[in-house]
């Protein structure tokens, strides 16, 4: 079989039942994506690489309900499709709770239980535009026993969803942060 005729292998997400030793060398870095599929695939790949507790990734995308309303043509986006619209915020909240957060759980392979820590509207200083921001976090044990954290440090997960009043694009920031402070004493 020639190289051109080979199809890419799509792995299924794994579900992590028990924690194992973290990798000796960390390869994950801050990443930026423009599609939700690439964002989720990266989370899945990092779970396969056992680096699910050290991520800082961002995605900027059009939510699926906007793509459906404009039939995939960005020129059909109406000016009122933004965070000032109550219907838009309701659809976005539904998308986040029913689709985005469960998909992140599925791709990470861990049962995160997100709590809505904060929801805020931030106007600019002139009052001409605003930002609607949701902040979700999970600082629990993620479904693992306390004894399993002897092998690996505890981490928390934060998800920030930001929508502005000038366009329907959504900015999502997903961070998995270790609770243990980084020791830089070895670095010279």
Per-residue model confidence as pLDDT tens digits over 135-149: 999 988 888 888 888
- Per the CB < 8 A criterion, the answer to whether 176 and 110 are in contact is no
Q: What is the three-class DSSP state of 18? A: coil
Cα separation of the two ends of the chain: 50
Per-residue model confidence as pLDDT tens digits over 171-185: 999 999 887 655 544
Q: Report the phi/psi class of residue 151: left, alpha or beta, with left for phi > 0 and alpha for psi in -120 to 50.
A: alpha
Q: Which two tokens stand for residue 110?
A: 């861990």
Q: Which two tokens stand for residue 65?
A: 């309900």
Calpha distance 91→132 (Å, rounded): 14
Q: Which two tokens stand for residue 111?
A: 């049962």
Please state the pTM of the whole predicted model: 0.84
Domains, the chain, with CATH or none: 29-178 (3.40.1000.40)
């Amino acid at each position: 079989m020639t190289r051109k005729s080979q199809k890419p292998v799509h792995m299924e997400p794994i579900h992590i039942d028990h924690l194992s030793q973290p990798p000796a060398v960390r390869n994950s870095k801050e990443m930026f994506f423009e599609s939700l599929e690439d964002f989720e695939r990266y989370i899945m790949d990092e779970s396969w690489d056992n680096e699910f507790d050290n991520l800082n990734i961002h995605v900027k995308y059009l939510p699926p309900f906007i793509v459906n309303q404009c039939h995939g043509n960005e020129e059909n986006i109406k000016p009122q499709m933004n965070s000032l619209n109550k219907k838009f915020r309701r659809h976005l909240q539904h998308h986040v709770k029913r689709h985005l957060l469960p998909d992140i759980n599925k791709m990470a392979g861990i049962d995160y239980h997100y709590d809505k820590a904060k929801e805020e509207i931030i106007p600019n200083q002139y009052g001409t535009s605003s930002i609607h921001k949701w902040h979700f976090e999970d600082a629990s044990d993620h479904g693992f026993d306390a004894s399993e954290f002897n092998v690996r440090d505890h981490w928390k997960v934060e998800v920030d969803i930001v929508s502005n009043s000038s366009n329907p694009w959504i900015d999502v920031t997903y961070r998995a942060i270790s609770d243990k402070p980084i020791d830089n004493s070895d670095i010279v």
